[in-house]
Amino acid sequence: MIEIKDLSVYFTTNSKEWFKKNTIKAVENANLTIKENTIVGLVGESGCGKSTLGRAILKLLPLHSGKIFYQNEDITHLKNSEFLKYRKELQIIFQDPYSSLNPRFTVFEIITEGLLTHYKMNKEKAKEKAVEILEKVGLKSEILYRYPHEFSGGQRQRIAIARVLVLEPKFVVCDEITSALDVSNQAQVINLIKEYKSKNPLSILFISHDLNIISYIADIIAVMYLGKIVEVAKRDSIIEKPLHPYTKALFSNIFKIGEFTQKKEVLYGEVPGVIQKPSGCYFHTRCPLAKEICKQEIPTMQKVEDSHSVACHLVS
């Protein structure tokens, strides 16, 4: 469905010295395949580049380099006008259901806007679709003519989800869609996504800090560290046999597995700055197993098993 090859996204920011600019390599040489009807969970600490990667795939950010394929078509350099026909199929749901809904629009307007513009649907048909999708996300059709401020956070997030799903997208980036919700709303939102997906083919890049949620929802898990994808594998492989020391540390905190159970302190070290990243393997400054080579050479992703890849000098 989606394939990215050597994707890099850089930002330029002002530095303390007025004549100099800083380059933030937010995403570096990322490779990832998201198959049909699959949920890929993307995890990693704050600032590691998850949202940047998600937005770049949807062409919401300019790339430094690399390629994006959608259904085997290279969409990297499509102009906005050429990409427009895919916009309804490639969607994003954001974390904050307060700022993502226009407060001056009714639920009806919010949900049908995309249908009217992308599908040129008439209002009657659009209303039918809106009622149908509201039901699927657990909301009643009575709310159609109410405004966002009349709803709780959980309900607003359902409206935001309905607005995207009504377009019948093929690929959706879910960027921390449960982070602003309480636990019971989190579970409901996750289950409604699962339920929807069981009936409608959909591929998802599911970005979250919450490893419990990722482990519950994802088929494949990709782990990022300081802009690089360091490990990708099926959910069970990541949980049962994580290979990268960073993945081990991350997941040992929730599953208490492997050799890192007694060594949780590995993640208490500071995340290095994004402007001056460490040499070699970016994780070597916090890795309890780091050797000389880790300080000198950047490890590349290597395939260890069918769908398990890792970038670590210590894995052979």
Ligand X SMILES: Nc1ncnc2c1ncn2[C@@H]1O[C@H](COP(=O)(O)OP(=O)(O)OP(=O)(O)O)[C@@H](O)[C@H]1O
Residues that bind ligand X (CB under 6 A): 11, 13, 24, 26, 44, 46-52, 209, 274
Q: Which does 278 bind (CB under 5 to 8 A by kind): ligand X, Mg ion, none?
A: none
Q: Which does 1 bind (CB under 5 to 8 A by kind): ligand X, Mg ion, none?
A: none
CB of 33 to Mg ion, least distance (A): 21
- Nearest to residue 181, comparing CAs of 56, 93, 104? 93
- CB-wise, 134 or 229, nearer to ligand X? 229
Residue 177 CA to its chain's centroid (Å): 10
CB of 216 to ligand X, least distance (A): 19
In what order do the strands lie in the sheet containing 308-310? 90-93, 171-175, 203-207, 39-43, 220-225, 228-234, 308-310, 302-305
Would the CA dihedral through 181, 271, 34, 71 be positive or negative? positive
Q: Which does 11 bind (CB under 5 to 8 A by kind): Mg ion, ligand X, none?
A: ligand X
Q: Is 206 within 8 Å of 41 (Cβ atoms)?
A: yes
Angle at 23 between CA 11 and CA 57, to 5 degrees: 30
- CB-wise, 45 or 168, nearer to ligand X? 45
CB of 13 to ligand X, least distance (A): 5
Q: Is 59 within 8 Å of 5 (Cβ atoms)?
A: no
Give residues 43-62 in contact with Mg ion (rule: CB under 5 A).
Answer: 51
- CB-wise, 26 or 130, nearer to ligand X? 26
CB of 132 to Mg ion, least distance (A): 31
Instruction: Using CB positions, name the residue nearest to Mg ion.
Output: 51
Q: Of all helices (H) and strands (E), which one includes residue 252?
A: helix 245-255
- CB-wise, 67 or 209, nearer to ligand X? 209
- CB-wise, 108 or 225, nearer to ligand X? 225
- CB-wise, 115 or 250, nearer to ligand X? 250
CB of 250 to ligand X, least distance (A): 13
Residue type at 239 in one-letter notation:
I
- In angstroms, the CA 311 to CA 281 distance is 9
Contacting residues toward Mg ion, per CB under 5 A: 51
